[in-house]
Amino acid sequence: MADLLELFPADSGLDDDGTVLIGGCRADDLAAEFGTPVLVVAEDALRARAREYIDGMATRWPNSRVVFASKAFPCTAVQRVMVDEGLGLDVAGGGEILTALKAGVDPAQVVLHGNAKTDEEIRIAVEHRLGLVVVDNANDVDRLEATLPDGAAQDVLVRILPGVTADTHSHVLTGNEGSKFGLPEPAARPVIRRIERSPKLRMQGLHVHIGSQIMDLEPFTESVARVVRLGEFPVYDLGGGLGARYTWSDRPPAVADYLDAVAAAAREHLPADAQIIIEPGRSVVASTAVTLYRVVTVKPGAITFVAVDGGMGDNLEVALFGQRFEAGIVGRFSGSEAQRVTVVGRHCESGDVLVDATDLPSPTVGDLLAVPATGAYCYTMANNYNGTRRIPVVLARAGAARLVVRRETWDDLTARDVD
Ligand SMILES: Cc1ncc(COP(=O)(O)O)c(C=O)c1O
């Protein structure tokens, strides 16, 4: 189990008694101060990952921008860190626009997505003068034209459906034929022509995003080759999607290798003076956070269930697309007498499994359990199933921890009731 640490944020370590340190803070101290479950983000690891992207892209393609896909962790404090490190923000909906603005982003550095943008969201985008709106369909064009005042103009990209099927779970595929996202080539052409004729829209370029948790670089390259069939433009947004490491066996490409592939594809297919945007989400944040749980019950049997005080209310990734996580008991990562158990949550679903079939040394009620790599899409999909309160987010850095999102209160659960 010693190598469980490999799945923790890059600056993690073990204290003298074997207790894991996240952002320099002992996991047991974090649990004592903020309660459990708690989502702990190692701030320096997060900043380092953001810089790896922005510096790596700048050296390979100077006319480039990195925008963080907010949906992966749309917490204002995390968006603020991204902005601070020089990234723009990709947002998918009104709420993410508002948290992005609260995080202090320059609206010109915001890219708005969505396959079903409402009138209200388009209005918010126009009001705040967001840099780019990505047109997913012809109705987006109708809405933008109806919303923009006379004399105003909006820069847009058109999202192309490239028909590329990456090797990932079907629920997180977005560039394959039959996907609901973007426009296939024949449908895209008239929309592009319409935008080019529109007095209110400025056709800046094309967008493509083929899916998430992708471990192979070839589909990214292929998507660039496909998108350029639509013509030459000043801007190409090549999306996100690089896989993150969740388990012992995961071997995602390094960010540097991914950026090499993107830059090579751009050199081969795109105009030399084009601006390239990338929108990484999962691969920026996944490995920078850890969720700490308390073991509530241990039920021996044909399968020994170790049940914790959280579950699918704070991590839907397992139920949603079968993502595997690993777990360790704080203070006993390297215990010798490990037994095979299944770590489950507290929700009324058999699918509420956090880690199926894993080895833990003598799990006991009251133990603190750490699940690493929970930085992506866990906070954002948190829910109140079974009346659980959404969990807090803590940023840990150099041995100091600060609460950035508080735990919901019991009162929060009824705060929206009007009768
Ligand atoms: C348009 C768009 N860009 C970027 C991303 C980020 O993808 P990932 O988090 O896999 O990097 C997504 C997420 O699916 C997306 O829909």
Atom of ligand 1 nearest to the CA of 213: 10
Q: What is the pLDDT of residues 242-260, one digit of tens each?
A: 999 999 999 999 999 999 9
pLDDT at 286 over 90: yes
Mean pLDDT of the chain: 96
- C-alpha to C-alpha distance for 277 and 233, rounded to whole angstroms: 13
- No. of helices (H) and no. of strands (E), the chain: 12, 20
Which residues does the annotation mark as catalytic?
348
Tell me the Cα Rg of the chain.
Answer: 22
Which atom of ligand 1 sits closest to the CA of residue 283?
11
Q: Outline where DSSP puts E strands in 136-199.
A: 154-159
pLDDT of residue 125: 97
* Residue of 309, 322, 375 lying closest to 7 (CA atoms): 375
Ligand 1: residue of 65, 220, 279 to mutate (most ligand atoms within 8 A of CB) is 279
Going from the Cα of 208 to the center of ligand 1, the distance in angstroms, rounded, reads 10
DSSP-assigned states of every residue in 365-385: TT-EEEEE---SSSSTT---G
Flag whether pLDDT at 216 surpasses 50: yes
> Do the domains 2-42+286-407 and 44-284 sit in the same CATH topology, yes or no?
no
Protein residue whose Cα sits closest to atom 4 of ligand 1: 240
SS3 353: strand
* Model confidence pLDDT, tens digit, residues 10-55: 999 999 999 999 999 999 999 999 999 999 999 999 999 999 999 9
CB of 90 shorter than 6 A to ligand 1: yes
Pocket test for ligand 1, best of 115, 169, 181, 209 (most atoms within 8 A of CB): 209
C-alpha to C-alpha distance for 216 and 167, rounded to whole angstroms:
7
Residue found by looking up tokens 């915001």 in the block: 110
Residues 24/399, Cβ–Cβ less than 8 Å? yes
pLDDT tens digits for 113-139? 999 999 999 999 999 999 999 999 999
- For ligand 1, whether the C-beta of 209 sits within 6 Å is yes
The confidence score (pLDDT) of residue 380 equals 97
Q: 239 C-alpha vs ligand 1 centroid, how far in Å?
A: 6
- In this prediction, residue 278 carries a pLDDT of 98
What number is the average pLDDT over the span 59-84?
A: 98
**100-104, 175-179, 404-408: lowest mean pLDDT where?**
175-179
Per-residue pLDDT, 295: 98
Check residue 297 and give its pLDDT: 98
Tell which atom from ligand 1 comes closest to the C-alpha of 376. Answer: 9
Give the start-end residues of each E strand in 49-174: 64-69, 88-91, 110-112, 132-135, 154-159
| Each residue's pLDDT tens digit, 362-393 | 999 999 999 999 999 999 999 999 999 999 99
Contact predicate 164/176, CB 8 Å: yes
CA neighbor of 242 nearest in space, from 57, 16, 416, 47:
57
Q: Where do the domains of the chain lie?
A: 2-42+286-407, 44-284
> Measured in angstroms, how far is the CA atom of residue 376 from the centroid of ligand 1?
11
Q: DSSP string of 199-261?
A: SSEEEEEEE---BSSB--SHHHHHHHHHHGGG---SEEE----B----SSS--PPPHHHHHHH
Q: Are strands 20-22 and 13-14 parallel, antiparallel or unpaired?
A: antiparallel
| Both structure tokens of 154 | 């909006």
Instruction: Say yes or no: CB of residue 241 within 6 Å of ligand 1.
Output: yes
pLDDT for res 211: 93
Residue 28, both tokens: 């047991």
- Cα dihedral sign for 66, 72, 74, 79? negative
Contacts of 161 (CB under 8 A, 6+ apart): 175, 177, 179, 181, 182, 183, 184, 188
2-42+286-407 architecture in CATH? Beta Barrel (2.40)
Contact predicate 155/207, CB 8 Å: no
Q: Give yes or no for a cis peptide into 37 (omega within 30° of 0).
A: yes
Share of the chain above pLDDT 90, in %: 93
Is 65 a pocket residue for ligand 1 (Cβ < 6 Å)?
no
- In terms of Cβ atoms closer than 10 Å to its own Cβ (0-12, 13-18, 19+), residue 107 is middle
Whether residue 252 contacts residue 217, with contact meaning beta carbons closer than 8 Å, is answered with no
* Distance from the alpha carbon of residue 213 to the mean position of ligand 1, in angstroms: 9
The closest-lying atom of ligand 1 relative to the alpha carbon of residue 207 is 1
CATH assignment of 44-284, given 3.20.20.10, 3.30.70.60, 3.40.50.300, 3.40.30.10?
3.20.20.10
**Is the per-residue pLDDT at 272 higher than 90?**
yes
**Distance from the alpha carbon of residue 281 to the mean position of ligand 1, in angstroms:** 6
Residue whose entry in the numeric block shows the structure tokens 């600056």: 11
User: Furthest-apart CA pair in the chain: how many Å?
Assistant: 72
Q: If pLDDT is split at 50, 70 and 90, which confidence band does 398 have?
A: very high
Q: Who has greater pLDDT, 160 or 163?
A: 160
Residue 335: pLDDT band with limits 50, 70, 90: low
CA 378 to ligand 1 center in whole angstroms: 14
- Is the pLDDT at 2 greater than 50? The verdict is no
Q: Which amino acid is at 341?
A: V
Confidence grade of residue 173 (pLDDT, cut at 50, 70, 90):
confident
**Percentage of the chain surpassing pLDDT 70?**
99
Contact 71, 378 (CB under 8 A): no
361 ligand 1 Cβ < 6 A: no
| 2 or 332, which is more confident | 332
282 C-alpha to ligand 1 centroid (Å): 8
Ligand 1 atom 16: residue of nearest CA: 209
Nearest CA to ligand 1 atom 5: 240
Helix ranges restricted to H, 148-197: 185-197
Contact assessment for residue 327 and residue 292, using Cβ atoms and an 8 Å cutoff: no
